């Protein structure tokens, strides 16, 4: 489940504590409009289902948790946020790209 943990008009955090999101179309900002996504021990599975989608927000562990993120399905997930510190990241299909956001960053692709 992806739920709003805290928020106001300046800062919004969502927490993933289990469940699956399934993409239905290509979308550069599939997870956006929040300031941070936190992943708990049951985390989140994102099934790209043949679509190309993007995440543009920082993705971190929930406090005192070893976060879990699973990318499943054909298609590409592109991460362009400023921070990815989810302890357990698994790619079970398709491609996951980490895009550098400045001249000194290096892109990385997992398949």
Burial state string for 49-78 with b = 16 or more CB within 10 A and e = fewer than 16: bebbbbbbbbbbbbeebebbbbbbbebbbb
Higher pLDDT, 107 or 77: 77
Count Cα atoms within 13 angstroms, Cβ side, for 32.
Answer: 12
Assess contact for 73 and 93: CB atoms under 8 A: yes
pLDDT of residue 10: 54
Number of Cβ within 10 Å of residue 33's Cβ equals: 9
Residue 9 banded pLDDT, cuts 50, 70, 90:
low
Residue identified by tokens 């698994």 is 90
pLDDT per position as a tens digit, 50-87: 999 999 999 999 999 999 999 999 999 999 988 999 99
Confidence of residue 94 (pLDDT cuts 50, 70, 90): very high
- Note whether 86 and 59 are within 8 A (CB): yes
User: Model-level pTM?
Assistant: 0.84
Q: What is the pLDDT of residue 13?
A: 87
The pLDDT score that the predictor gives to residue 31 is 86
């Amino acid at each position: 489940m992806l739920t709003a943990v805290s928020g106001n008009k300046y800062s919004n955090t969502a927490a993933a504590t289990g469940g699956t999101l399934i993409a239905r179309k290509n979308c550069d900002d599939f997870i956006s409009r929040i300031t941070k996504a936190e992943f708990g021990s049951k985390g989140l599975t994102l099934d790209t289902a043949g679509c190309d989608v993007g995440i543009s927000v920082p993705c971190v562990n929930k406090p005192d948790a070893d976060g879990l993120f699973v990318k499943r399905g054909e298609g590409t997930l592109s991460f362009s946020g400023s921070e990815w510190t989810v302890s357990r990241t698994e790619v079970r299909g398709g491609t996951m790209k980490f895009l550098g956001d400045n001249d000194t960053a290096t892109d990385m692709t997992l398949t």
